[in-house]
Structure 1
Amino acid sequence: MKQVVQAASGGAVRVVDVPVPVIGPTEVLVATVATIVSAGTERAVTTLARSGLLTKARARPDLVRKVAEKARTDGLIPAARSVRDRLGADVPLGYSGCGRVVEVGSAVDRIRPGDLVATGGAGRANHAEFQAVPGLLCARVPGGVDPGAAAFATIGSIALHGLRLAEVGPGAKVVVVGLGLVGQLAARLALASGCDVAGIDLADLPLVTAEASGVRALRESGEATTAAVRAWSRGRGADAVLICAAGRSAEPVMRATALARDRAQLVVVGDVGLGLLRAPFYDKELTLRFARSYGPGRYERGYEEWGVDYPAGQVRWTEGRNQEAVLDLLAADRLRVDDLVTHAFPIDAAPRAYEIVATRSEPYLGIRFDYPASAASERVGSERVGSERVGSAVAGAALAHSAGPTRDRSVSPRPRVPRQRSAPAGRRGSRVGWIGAGTFSGSVLLPAFRAAGFDQLVTVASAGGRSARAFADRHGFAGAVAGADAVLDDDDVDVVVIATPHATHADLAARALERGRHVWCEKPLALSLDELNRVEKAAATGGGVLVVGYNRRFSPAVTAARAALADRDGPLTLSYRIAAGPVPADHWYNDRVQGGRLLGEVCHFVDTCAALAGSEVDTVTALAGREAELLLAPDVAVTLRHADGSLSAISYSSARPRGVRKEHLEALAGSRHVRIDDYRELVIDGRSTWKGPQDKGHHAAAAAFLRMCRGSDTGVTAELLASSRATLAAADALGAEVPRSPARLGS
């Protein structure tokens, strides 16, 4: 299918061919009829993409801090590689459209195939022939409403939400500063609500268009305009001012203070500067509010991704219900938008539209993209691949608990996993299918696989397809697809690499193994014992090799330390301290569906301790801090007893003091002392025996995996499964809600 994108590194807007997206349970697949360009927002995206690194850094200081932190902890080369990979990505454009429903996720109600719906862009509703849209942001279009008009619904929701924040009603005097597309819609919605509306702008086209709709149009001329507003409002000033302008200057907000009455509402809808003076706000005791996009639910994962609606009695006007309100006003002919369309282009000509937006070579308001009517019937059947919902599988959520006393859980001996069979005839482990096109995949994992000798890159999959297409082009894959099924069912694929969100790992790994594929699965392998048991069974019977991305056991520091400790005369005592650093509140580590930091990262350190001890874990205890629910605790202490009597203590902290490296490991055994400093140095009995750039073992792990796939190396599947089992036992020891066998953890 065709989609409009802007490369993050700059250049012109392009129309690219990408796979049709695969929907999740809470999504709807829509064949697009029309989309509307939100010029202000989209111009900001394309302008930033085309700017230099310094401008990008000034615009996104949060990302600069992340890069600096990565450089400090991992080194300059990995940080530069990560930046390069991010800049190589394509940014999809657009968020407001309309189309026909092709497919409906299992958790979506009130929407059926064939429905005409307005679409919102919180998920993947972009300028594309097919959109995968959150179900709560698909609003059925009432009869009689033209699809081109319905495509305005989401942009209209932005204006409507701003108007709702202004808290005005019939007879109120409302001023709209900035009569671009959102400003025009805000003014018309205010008129439809019974308000008297004045609009202010500098350009002819916006003023003429606004006046034709019944708005009192005023050209901005300073004091004269202020006097006109005061006369119009009987000397009081406006009851509310909606600031729909865009730009770096704070002047539109400061102008609003002069136009407003005492104790009026000022609502910032557009992207404007905020270098404000206090006095005008203080003198009039003005209320300054900021509209967050389409309304309540925006940026909330529960609403947009998981499809959990807010009760109407608690939140009457969500972003989805704002869409419905705009559509109802269109159906009742109380809102008109057809005259706002100044330009219409077929989707193939989208770059021309963005030239107009960037250069302002022609006056414009609404720009519409039209899509071929044959897209749904001709392309979905040939391009749709499978029904796998990459990134949308839902694991059992851990319930909140207060931290209780430490409990230990014995890890019963694992069932014996038969030695891996040699690869089936014709499968020599070199033809790679890659599931997941994230930054880690491109900047860390794929370079390791290339260096190891995996040189036949068959196909890469992502849920939406767009990121897979960009990943394939950037890294040399022969093909790109949407959805994991297209990789799992591809007979040209010998090796499946799984680098998707954590909640999808076990299902994808088991299905790939059941098909006889060799599998590299990034950690964690499973989020519950039921999942782990399924994968273990598939590994034992499928005939393929299974490796989990516990790369530290393959690092030069751990490999040399294991050799040095091989002749020890007693059990080990291991102490592993991790200063992992904090993560933002909206980070996926805080998503219970993805298993939290214990299951998602501490598993690395459990496996490293088991590898150094050379002995499986038989008993686990764990404690969590009190900051969050148990499974999501940012600070965790885990102790392990190994079968040979060795003891490991893992202290995982969300602190990251300046100057402190992330990982520090010490091992004591009799007269032997081993210390690993952040995988940059190995010290044995006080003498530095290895030192170099940080190496956590990714390259060596990939090389070992290739040897296993080709049958020239014995597998470590049993050890990796045992580490996964021990990590789940740690979660159980916390008292977290992780399912386990009622009889024993080992079955």
Structure 2
Amino acid sequence: MQQVISSSKGIEVINVPSSLLETGTVLIEVEYSFISTGTELATLRALGLDQPNNESRILSRRVSESMELVNKIVKYLQDKGIRKTVQRVFARMSNNEVSYDRLVTLGYSCSGRVVSVGQGVKGISIGDFVACAGANRATHSELVVVPENLVVHVPEECSLKDASSVAIGSIAMHGFRQSNARMGEFIGVIGLGLVGLIMARLLKIAGCRVLGLDIDEVSVSQAKRIGIDSAMSDSNSFQNQVEIITDSMGLDRCIITASSESDEIIAAAMDTTRQKGRVLVLGFVPLRMDKYPFMRKEIEFVSSSSYGPGRYDSNYEDQGLDYPYSYVRWTEKRNMTEYLRLLASGQFDLSEIAKEEVPLISVKDAYDRLIRGKAKSRGIFVNYSSEKTFKEKSKTSVQLRSKPVSGKIRLAIVGAGSFVREMHLPNLEKLRDQIEFSAFVTRKGANAIELANRYGAEHASTSIDDILDLDLDAVLIGTRPNKHAEMVLKCISSGKNVLTEKPLALGWEELHKIKDFYDSSDKVSLPLLMTGFNRRFSPYMKRIKEAIRFRNTPLIINYQMNTKYLPKDHWERTDEGGGRNLTEACHIYDLFTFLCDTEVDEISASSIRSTDDHYGKNENFSAHIRFVDGSLCNLTYTSLGSTAYPKEICHLFFDQTVFYLNNYTSLDVFGPIDDHFETSFQDKGHFEEMGCFFSAIRNKSDWPIPFWHQTQATEIALKVEDIISNHV
């Protein structure tokens, strides 16, 4: 499908794989999308994309504005060393849209026809005409996949063209509600751009008397044409007019929809608002104000969050959980619906504000005019009419190039979040003499295209099914944990060697299916499966393993993980992430299995008791594992501590000897022969893990991690989860 993106080359329309329909989402064939001249220009400026090749300035600005970021970089430098810090900074630059070859999707408001409906979606059917909103969702694309709660029906009396402005209209609608404006009140609107003009019209519909201020004379003229009571371009004239119209009482409300670096906007709002009035901020303005008029007049100062209640709440937007109507009357979806109702009723004529229309093929010219300040209206409609069929648009794979046979291991990457970008891809770059990238599979088509171009891969896709028939030697799975087992089964069933990030599975049924595959298949020709238990490949664990080879006593291992707290709604604590016992503590269960090298005899665990559910049981617990050789292994996992303290500490006791591992930066040995070992940076074995995986494929040698080790570590995690979370 065709999608509008921004890159170092500027604005482009490129061919990308179509996104897949998921549970709770709707697939829409777009007929119109809407370019909000103010918001999208602000986005381009914030990303530095209106000034190509300006990455250093952007990074410098972001660092200087955030001492917290500086402190994080310093700490990371201390823990990981210069090399890994540089790798992460450049990966983060890419993740924050400031690298030279980063593709940034644009747009957040569109309309079209429903072509497919995901499982669990109610009230939306194939063939419905709808409007939708959301950055990275309702983008400027021929096809979009949008969560149910960001999709609303378009009334018959409302054109699809006008409906494509639903996101911008909802921003104004929610701001109107936050202002608490009432019929007959005097309301000031500072900033008469697109949102400001829509806001002014909503206020007039509600029976308010509206005064506007904007430095642009064209905006002032537009405001007068839509029926605003008074509008001007000079701040002093605005204040004088407020004095006259309100009989020196001041504005009941003042709504700021402008974007500026000046303090004068806040000052003007405070000066013109009456005692015990309200000032609402929608625009991007510095919140520096003279406290005297603010406190003396007891002005109420409020803000407005995007489209309304539900915005940025993953439970609402991603999980489809609506807020009760009687408790939250105007959610973002209900605001979207009401905006379209007003358009359909004829009370609001959008053509007075936005009427410029361009075909998708000409969108680059439209953005160029926008950047140069030459746009003809406050909003630009993008028309997607074409002779392409839905089948042509909906292809989930794009072949970018053909490559001759090189004899190297052909690798596909599935999933490319921050860990894959920051850790795996830099390590894989060092192994380019052994491997070549054949395909990238990501949820968003533009991300797959970007990575495939950067690393020279032939294919970019949004579906793992597209790569199963390719001539591949290996697949690296780095998606979120709830997808791991399903994807592993697909890959090994098609004969692909697999390195999957941990965990191998999030449930017993998933794990049993993988075990059944290897138990029932011809073991001579089985593909290699390796779970990303990298710590066993660290130089520290190798030294410990060598030292205990000829031990005479069982082991006692006390392992402590002091990890940072994650908010309750963080994805790692959801069903998608699986919780930190299953997804991180499994690393340590693998180490216990690796070091003891025998089967488990008994597992017990206990978690904290707290009335505060912000601290999860499966990230604040102790697990105790006894192995059949008599070894005892204990894990204390907590998010209650300070990140100033080392994350991982391990004490290992045997044969009158103690090993003390400090966060994979140093190892001290106390006993008959004292020893000390350290590395210049934290080394948890990620690079060695990759090397061993590819070596095993190339040489057809023993698995780097025995299959039973992988399944036992996963079984320990599942059993501990049953005990601490499910009370089994």
Same fold per TM (> 0.5)? yes
| Residue matched to 2:402 | none
Q: For 1:190, give the aligned amino acid.
A: L
| Residue matched to 2:167 | 154
CA distance in 2, matches of 1:83, 1:368: 38
Q: Deviations over 1:24-64 (max 9, x none)?
A: 11111112222222333322332232243211224566655
CA distance in 2, matches of 1:100, 1:545: 44
CA distance in 1, matches of 2:472, 2:65: 42
| Residue matched to 1:396 | none
CA distance in 2, matches of 1:684, 1:639: 24
Q: For 2:262, give the aligned amino acid.
A: S
Q: Could you say if the C-alpha distance between residues 349 and 536 of structure 1 is closer, same or farther in structure 2, counting changes exceeding 3 Å?
A: same
Percent identity reads: 29
* Contact preservation (8 Å) 1:254, 1:276: yes
Q: Deviations over 1:476-508 (max 9, x none)?
A: 221111122223x33323322211111111222
Shift of 1:294: 0.2
Q: Could you say if the C-alpha distance between residues 221 and 138 of structure 1 is closer, same or farther in structure 2, counting changes exceeding 3 Å?
A: same
**2:185 pairs with 1:172:** yes
Q: Could you say if the C-alpha distance between residues 691 and 237 of structure 1 is closer, same or farther in structure 2, counting changes exceeding 3 Å?
A: closer
Q: 1:506 aligns with which of 478, 485, 497?
A: 485
- Structure 2 gaps, min length 5: 49-56, 95-101, 399-404
| Residue matched to 1:34 | 32
| Residue matched to 1:206 | 219
**2:715 pairs with 1:725:** yes
Q: For 2:318, give the aligned amino acid.
A: E
* Contact preservation (8 Å) 1:595, 1:632: no
Q: Could you say if the C-alpha distance between residues 241 and 436 of structure 1 is closer, same or farther in structure 2, counting changes exceeding 3 Å?
A: same
| Residue matched to 2:5 | 5
Q: Deviations over 1:144-185 (max 9, x none)?
A: 322221111110000000001111232222221100011011
Q: For 1:277, give the aligned amino acid.
A: D
Shift of 1:68: 4.2
Q: Could you say if the C-alpha distance between residues 473 and 64 of structure 1 is closer, same or farther in structure 2, counting changes exceeding 3 Å?
A: farther
Shift of 1:275: 0.6
Please give the residue correspondences for 1:76-95 in structure 2 after superposition, counting only pairs within 5 Å: 76-88=82-94, 89-95=102-108
* Contact preservation (8 Å) 2:13, 2:361: yes
* Contact preservation (8 Å) 1:102, 1:376: no
TM-score w.r.t. length of structure 2: 0.90
* Contact preservation (8 Å) 1:117, 1:141: yes
Shift of 1:587: 2.9
Higher mean C-alpha displacement, 175-184 vs 112-121 = 112-121
Q: Could you say if the C-alpha distance between residues 737 and 67 of structure 1 is closer, same or farther in structure 2, counting changes exceeding 3 Å?
A: farther
Q: What secondary structure sits across from 2:3 in the alignment? A: strand
CA distance in 1, matches of 2:643, 2:26: 46
Q: Could you say if the C-alpha distance between residues 326 and 290 of structure 1 is closer, same or farther in structure 2, counting changes exceeding 3 Å?
A: same
Q: Deviations over 1:283-326 (max 9, x none)?
A: 22211110000000000001110111112122111111111111
Q: 1:348 aligns with which of 361, 367, 391?
A: 361
Q: Could you say if the C-alpha distance between residues 14 and 69 of structure 1 is closer, same or farther in structure 2, counting changes exceeding 3 Å?
A: farther
Q: What secondary structure sits across from 1:209 in the alignment? A: helix
| Residue matched to 1:579 | 562
* Contact preservation (8 Å) 1:429, 1:494: no
* Contact preservation (8 Å) 1:432, 1:497: yes
Shift of 1:551: 0.6
CA distance in 1, matches of 2:340, 2:375: 29
Shift of 1:234: 4.0
Q: What secondary structure sits across from 2:10 in the alignment? A: coil
Shift of 1:71: 3.1
* Contact preservation (8 Å) 2:216, 2:233: no
Q: What secondary structure sits across from 2:696 in the alignment? A: helix
CA distance in 2, matches of 1:73, 1:320: 45
CA distance in 2, matches of 1:454, 1:286: 67
Q: Could you say if the C-alpha distance between residues 108 and 362 of structure 1 is closer, same or farther in structure 2, counting changes exceeding 3 Å?
A: closer
Q: Could you say if the C-alpha distance between residues 230 and 634 of structure 1 is closer, same or farther in structure 2, counting changes exceeding 3 Å?
A: farther
Shift of 1:648: 1.4
* Contact preservation (8 Å) 1:442, 1:471: no
| Residue matched to 2:464 | 484
| Residue matched to 1:43 | 41
Question: What is the RMSD of the two structures over their aligned residues, measured on CA atoms?
Answer: 2.5
| Residue matched to 2:649 | 664
CA distance in 2, matches of 1:648, 1:5: 52
* Contact preservation (8 Å) 2:266, 2:288: no
- Structure 1 gaps, min length 5: 387-425, 741-747
Q: 2:380 aligns with which of 355, 367, 370?
A: 367
Q: 1:109 aligns with which of 109, 117, 122?
A: 122
Q: 1:607 aligns with which of 581, 590, 596?
A: 590
| Residue matched to 1:697 | 685
Q: What secondary structure sits across from 2:112 in the alignment? A: strand
Q: For 2:471, give the aligned amino acid.
A: D
* Contact preservation (8 Å) 1:123, 1:305: no
Q: What secondary structure sits across from 2:479 in the alignment? A: coil
CA distance in 1, matches of 2:514, 2:391: 38
CA distance in 1, matches of 2:199, 2:275: 22
Higher mean C-alpha displacement, 303-312 vs 220-229 = 220-229
* Contact preservation (8 Å) 1:433, 1:457: yes
* Contact preservation (8 Å) 1:598, 1:631: no
Report the count of equivalent residues: 694
Q: What secondary structure sits across from 1:594 in the alignment? A: coil
| Residue matched to 1:649 | 634
**2:448 pairs with 1:468:** yes
CA distance in 2, matches of 1:659, 1:60: 19
Q: For 1:448, give the aligned amino acid.
A: N
Higher mean C-alpha displacement, 632-641 vs 183-192 = 632-641
* Contact preservation (8 Å) 2:263, 2:288: yes
Q: 1:708 aligns with which of 692, 696, 706?
A: 696
Q: What secondary structure sits across from 2:155 in the alignment? A: coil
| Residue matched to 1:635 | 620
Q: Deviations over 1:448-478 (max 9, x none)?
A: 3454565232211112222111122222221
Higher mean C-alpha displacement, 510-519 vs 460-469 = 510-519
| Residue matched to 1:283 | 296
CA distance in 2, matches of 1:136, 1:63: 34
CA distance in 2, matches of 1:146, 1:641: 68
* Contact preservation (8 Å) 2:105, 2:136: no
CA distance in 2, matches of 1:217, 1:12: 40
| Residue matched to 1:565 | 548
CA distance in 2, matches of 1:631, 1:534: 29
Q: For 2:635, give the aligned amino acid.
A: I
CA distance in 2, matches of 1:631, 1:659: 21
**2:536 pairs with 1:553:** yes
* Contact preservation (8 Å) 1:23, 1:463: no
Q: 1:55 aligns with which of 42, 51, 61?
A: 61
Higher mean C-alpha displacement, 177-186 vs 518-527 = 518-527
TM-score w.r.t. length of structure 1: 0.88
Shift of 1:363: 6.2
Higher mean C-alpha displacement, 699-708 vs 158-167 = 699-708
Shift of 1:590: 2.9
Shift of 1:355: 3.1
Shift of 1:671: 2.7
